[in-house]
């Protein structure tokens, strides 16, 4: 009887230690990876390029640089879309980022079928 109690106690002690090491090592690894991401330089707006309407994703969502040329826009354009964020002016036109097209800039007067009106 004593022998089995000791085995259970030892098992519980080891299991608790293993769980503690797993939690602790996870937080260390998370810290290492997040600091590596922080060391990576962030792209500025000037580093970003304009979205090419012939891009695969742009074609899939029927992106056009001028909403007036789209029969489905119904007057909607990126400026009034929840995915759009104004950044700057280029060649006299407003441009911004879009969560649909990561790492690219889109025109404020553009339109795509992923349009979702700002709340």
Per-residue model confidence as pLDDT tens digits over 72-110: 999 999 999 999 998 899 889 999 999 999 889 999 999
pLDDT in tens, 40-77: 555 666 678 999 999 999 999 999 999 999 999 999 99
CATH no. of 45-107: 4.10.490.10
- What is the per-residue DSSP string for 43-111? PPGGGPEEPPTTSHHHHHTT-BS-GGG-TT-TT--GGGBTTEEEEEEETTEEEEEESSSTTEEEETT-B
User: In this predicted structure, what is the pLDDT of residue 10?
Assistant: 82
User: In this predicted structure, what is the pLDDT of residue 1?
Assistant: 46
pTM comes to: 0.62
Domain ranges of the chain: 1-40, 45-107
Tell whether the model's pLDDT for residue 28 goes beyond 90.
no
How is residue 18 written in tokens? 């293993």
């Amino acid at each position: 009887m004593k022998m089995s109690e000791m085995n259970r106690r030892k098992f519980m002690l080891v299991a608790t230690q293993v769980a503690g090491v797993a939690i602790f090592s996870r937080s260390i690894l998370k810290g290492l990876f997040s600091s590596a991401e922080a060391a990576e330089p962030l792209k500025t707006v000037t580093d970003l390029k304009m979205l090419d309407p012939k891009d695969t994703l742009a074609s899939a969502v029927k992106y056009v640089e001028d909403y007036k040329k789209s029969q489905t826009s119904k007057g909607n354009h990126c400026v009034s879309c929840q995915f759009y964020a104004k950044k700057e002016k280029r060649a006299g036109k407003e441009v911004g980022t879009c969560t649909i097209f990561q790492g690219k800039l889109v025109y404020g007067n553009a339109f795509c079928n992923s349009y979702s009106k700002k709340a």
